[in-house]
A = this chain, B = another copy of it.
Amino acid sequence: MNLEEYIKENTATFDAFLQDFLSINLTNHSAKLLEAMNYSLLNGGKRIRPLLVMAFAQNLDIKKEYYMNVALAVEFVHTYSLIHDDIMDDDDFRRGQLATHKKFDIPTAMLAGNSLLTWAFQILSDESTHPNTEVRNYLTGFLSSSSGHTGLAYGQSLDLEYQFGNKNADYKKILKMHDLKTARLFKFCTRAPFVLCNPKILLNNKKTEHLDIFGTNFGLIFQATDDLLDYRDLDKSVDLGNIMSYKNNDEVVNYCKKLAKEALASLKNLEIDSQVLTELIQFIIIRKS
């Protein structure tokens, strides 16, 4: 199976799992809040984070329901962050469709985001995610430290500062912001499957470090190429306050290639022989959307 087929098949698997989950759990669809949650989740996402969780988990011996729950939780946090980003940036569209706050209204979109974030923790603490409370508890703690003021939310706040032309942003700060805003959640995606498989992995510092390098670098590449794609689409005279304020196209591609090389070395150190993961990280660099 080539990468394109893998992505297609596994995205479909995730989407089916998500739809089942929603149809069981969002029974009162007539409520505006639940409609907005449903709309945001089914708004055609690329599902990169779930795919990463699934690709790692498929290399390990983990029950499908466990890792699919983790994939759900991550996608819920990601979707919440997009809903709120669109409000904060006053963006009317997301993936060619109306942003949640335009389809509904700002308060409903805020609450839909909040509910998805909250739900992620409910999913991780549910026994269907893992029979061992130590594992669930670790995942809850790690997702929260990856998402709040020590992770994603802090990164979002720095991003807003830099976007509005704050000249304090330099290249190093941009990369730190990328790490917080994007890479932390990817790091969660790579660590979580291993913890589901065997929580003792956290006692192995060397292994954890390699996992973290893969997740972090994957996330940094994803964000750098996001900046690149934004830049290609926009008026070049605008300073986006992103990586393109400091580097040109080729420099960003080289930076990504270097990160990918490191990530693949870590994969080798973890003794993971995964064609999917190898191709996926290279695909992210050359993606067109």
Question: What residues make up the interface of A, taking CB atoms closer than 8 Å to B?
Answer: 26, 31-34, 37, 80, 84, 87-88, 106-108, 110-111, 113-115, 117-119, 121-122, 124-126, 133-134, 136-138, 140-141, 143-145, 147-149, 153-154, 156-158, 160-161
Give the residues in chain B near A138, CB-CB below 8 Å. 125
CB distance from A169 to the nearest CB of B (A): 13
B33 touches A157 (CB 8 A): yes
A108 nearest CB neighbor, chain B only? B157
- What is the count of identical protomers in the complex? 2
Interface of A: prevailing SS: helix
Return A110 CB to nearest CB of chain B, in Å: 6
Q: A122-B148, A133-B133 are in contact. Are A32 and B154 (CB under 8 A)?
A: no
Contacts of A115 in B (CB 8 A): 148-149, 153-154
Interchain CB contact under 8 A, B118 and A140: no
Interface centre among A108, A134, A140 (most CB of B within 10 A): A140
Residues of B within 8 A of A124 (CB): 140
Q: Is the CB of B107 within 8 A of A88?
A: yes
Q: Which residues of B contact A87 (CB under 8 A)?
A: 110
A153 in contact with B121 (CB, 8 Å): no
Shortest A202–chain B CB gap in Å is 13
* One of B33, B134, B140, B156 near A153 (C-beta < 8 A): B33
Most buried by B among A37, A137, A140: A137
Asked if A153 and B32 make an inter-chain contact with CB atoms under 8 angstroms apart, the answer reads no
Residues from chain B with Cβ under 8 Å of A119 in the complex = 144, 148-149
By a CB distance below 8 angstroms, the chain B residues around A106 are 88
CB distance from A220 to the nearest CB of B (A): 21
* A117 neighbours in B (Cβ, 8 Å): 114, 117-118, 148
Which single residue of chain B is at the shortest CB-CB distance from A32? B157
CB < 8 Å: which of B118, B149, B158 contacts A148?
B118
